[in-house]
Structure 1
Amino acid sequence: MIVENVSCAGGQHCETTALGVLLRHEGIDLSEPMRFGLGEGLGFVYWDAKNMGFPFLGGRTKPMTITRTLAARLGLTMRVEETTSVRKAWHNVAAAIDAGRPVGLQLDSYHLDYFTVKVHFGGHVVAMYGYDDTHAYLVDTAQQGGAVTTTRASLELARNVRGPMTARNLSYTLACGGDRPKLGEVVGAAIRSNAHDFLNPPIANLGHRGIRKAAGQVPKWLTRSADPRHDLALAASLMERGGTGGALFRAMYRDFLAECCTIVDDDNLRRGHQMYREIAPLWTEVSRHLAAAAETTDHRHLVDASAVLSDLADREHDAMQTLANIRTG
C-alpha cells in the first residue's frame, strides 16, 4: 500500500523533513526554515549524565516539540498514538496509510537499514508513506537519501527501542481543520515565544545559560573523554552535519528570520535577523576548534572554543531580547 501524491523531498533536519511531508499532503507548503521557526525549534542544551560517555551539545527543543507547537500554532489536528504493543504499533501506522494519509514516526535511527553510520539516537523522526509485505517506504533527510526503504523488521526494532529521547512506538498524523491563520498573524507570536523560553530556561544547562555552562566545561573535555579523538570529532561533526542545517540550527533560524522579514515589517525583527547572521558563523567556528582539538589533542583549541562560546552566550541573549520585542500578529 502506497499513499499517492506524496512529496518525498528530503530536507536538512529529520523532524522538519517529516513535518514537510505531512504538511504538503494537507496542501500546506512551507519552507523548512519556516517550519522550524513556527515550531519554535531553536534552543540549546548541554547534556552530561553519569551514564553518558561524553557530553552532548544540542541546538533545538525536545523531539516532537516542533511538530506539536506548529500544529497548535496553525490550528491543525494532530493525532498522536503511543503503545507498548508492537502489534498495536504496526496497526496504528498501517491504518493511517490504508486511509491514504502519510504518518510520522519517532524512532532510533540505529536500526534503520539505510543508515551507514550506526549511532543510537532515539529522537529521530521520519515520515512513512507506504509498505508491502517486507519493507516500509520512508522519507528521511536529503543526507540520508530522501525517499528510502527499510525492512519492516528493522522498523519494528527502531520503534520499540528504550533509552534516552525514545518514545513508545510513537506515530502521528496531521489534518487541516477550518481556516488557517495567515503567516503574518503567527510568525511574531512564534518568535516571541521562542525568545521567552530561550531567555528563561528552567535549569542552568538550557538556553543562553546552557551556552555559558558549555563554555566553562569544554576546556575539560580532553580529560572527560576516554577517547578524545573520537568524541571531539563526533561532537564537531554533529554540530555541522548531524541534521542541524549547519551551525547547530542557527543557520536555519537565521533563514527563518530572513523569510519573516519579507512578511512582517518590524525593526526589531530586522535587527534580530542581522544578529543571527553574525551568530551562525561563530557556531561553525566552535565546531572547527573542536575538530582541531580532536586531530591534535591540543588543549588550546578547547580554550579557543570556550572563548567563542562565552561570546555566543552574550550574543544570543542579546539577540533573543531583541526578538522578544517584535510585534505579534
Structure 2
Amino acid sequence: MSNNIEGFVPFQGEHCETTTIGNLLQFAGVRLSEPMLFGLGQGLGFIYWDSKQMDFPFIGGRVKPDELTACLVSRLNLTIRMQESSSVEKAWQNVRSYIELGVPVGLKLDSYYLDYFTNKVHFAAHYAVIYGADAEYAYMADTRQQGGLVKTSLTHLAMARNAKGPMSSRNRSFTIEPVGTLPPLIPAIRSSIAENARNYLNPPIRNIGNKGIIKMSHEVLKWPSRSKDLEKDLCLTALLMERAGTGGALFRNLYRDFLKECVDLFGDSKVEQAYWLFTEIAPMWVSVSSLIDHTGRTGNHQELNLVSELLLEIADKERVAMELLLTV
C-alpha cells in the first residue's frame, strides 16, 4: 500500500492532542484555531503526580489524556470512531482500511519508538495522525516541534502503538466523521469555560487543579532529598514543563490565547479580566521552569524557595481568574 491521502494539508500546532484533532477536523471540514480547540476541550488543568514507582514527580498543566478529545467531540456534536485491539495485525488493518478510503487516522503512541523523536523519553500518551504508508514507512502529521510532516518505519510505529505502561491505550486509533453543521459556537464556548473552571477549582484529589499547585509549592522544598540525580531530574522537569508540546508556560499560553479569541468573539468583561490575568500568569510559569532548570545546573537549592513562593502567587492568580470564569 503506497497511497498517501491526496491533498492532505497538515494542521500547524504546538500540542500533540490538539494538533491531531485539528488535523482530523480540518479534513472533516472544520477549521478552528489550536487555542480554540484547547479551550473547547476544557484542556486547562494541573497535576502534581508522584508515587513510589516514579524516579521523580511528574508535573502536568492539562486535563488527562483523551479527556480533551472527549470534551471537544461532545461540545461540537461530532462523531468520533474509536478502535482498539490487542492484536498488532488487527490494529494495522483498522488503520489501513481508513487510509485506503482516503481518511486520515489519529493514533495514540509511545513517542519513545518514533524515528523522528530526538528526545527519547517513554511517553505513551503522544498523539499523531497517519495519512499514508508504503511497504516500509508510515507518513505522519505531528506537531510543529516534531517537524510537521514526518515519517517513521512501520516496525517502529507498531511498537509505539502497542506499548504498555502509564497512560497507554491498546493500539488506539480514531477518525472523525465529516461534519454537517456545528452547534452554535458561542454557547458551546461559554459552557466549556465554566465547566473547565469548575473542575479546576474543585478537584477530586489534592494533587490536581488549584490545590495541586499549592501542594507542589510545599513539595518542591523536599526535592533535593527526593532525588537520586537532582541535576538530571530538575533539568528534565523544566524541559518537560516548558517545551514538551505544551505550547509554552505549561499550556497557559494556549489558554491565554483562547481567552483572547473569546474576548474578540463575544466580548465579556469577566472573560477579559481572566485574559489579562493569564497574560501575567503565563510568564510566571516560564520563571518557575527556568528557576527549576537553573537550580539543577547550579546546585543552589535556595532557589527552590523562590519556586515555592512563585507557585503560591500563581495559585492565587489562577484561582481568581477561574472564579471569574465560573459564571461566564
Please report the TM-score for the alignment, with normalisation by the length of structure 2: 0.98
Note the alpha carbon deviations across 1:148-196, whole angstroms, 9 max, x for none.
0000000000000100111110000011454212322211111011111
1:135 paired with 2:137, answer yes
Aligned to 1:86: 88
In the alignment, what sits opposite 1:56?
58
Q: How many residues align?
A: 326
Q: Which shifted more, 288-297 or 150-159?
A: 288-297
Give the Å deviation of 1:39.
0.6
How many Å separate the matches in 2 of 1:4 and 1:301?
53
Measured after TM superposition, the shift of residue 14 of structure 1 is 0.7
Distance of 2:184 and 2:21 partners within structure 1: 18
Distance in 2 (alpha carbons) for counterparts of 1:244 and 1:100? 30
State the match for 1:31 in structure 2.
Answer: 33
* 2:14 matched residue in structure 1: 12
8 Å CA contact retained: 1:13, 1:243 = yes
Q: Following TM superposition, by how much is the alpha carbon of 1:260 offset from its aligned partner in structure 2, in angstroms?
A: 0.6
Q: Which whole-Å CA distance do the structure 2 matches of 1:116 and 1:269 have between them?
A: 39
Give the C-alpha shift of residue 100 in structure 1. 1.2
**Partner residue, 1:240:** 242
Q: Displacement, 1:279?
A: 0.8
Give the whole-Å Cα distance in 1 for the aligned partners of 2:30 and 2:192: 18
Match of 2:213 in 1: 211
Secondary structure, aligned partner of 2:145: helix
List gaps (5 residues or longer) in structure 2.
Answer: none
Give the distance between the partners of 2:226 and 2:238, measured in 1 at CA.
16
Distance 1:239 1:287 in 2: 6
Q: Give the 3-state SS of the residue equivalent to 2:275 in structure 1.
A: helix
Q: Which residue of 2 aligns with 1:315?
A: 317
- Aligned counterpart for 1:69 among listed residues 53, 68, 71: 71
Aligned to 2:204: 202
Is it true that 1:165 corresponds to 2:167 in the alignment? yes
Distance 1:182 1:294 in 2: 48
Distance in 1, Cα, partners of 2:77 & 2:158: 31
- Secondary structure at the aligned position of 1:166 is classed as coil
CA distance in 2, matches of 1:223, 1:5: 54
TM-align CA RMSD:
1.0
Tell me the equivalent position of 1:250.
252
> Structure 1 unaligned runs (5+)?
none
2:265 maps to: 263
The one-letter code of the counterpart of 2:230 is P
**Aligned residue in 2 for 1:43:** 45
TM, length-normalised to structure 1: 0.97
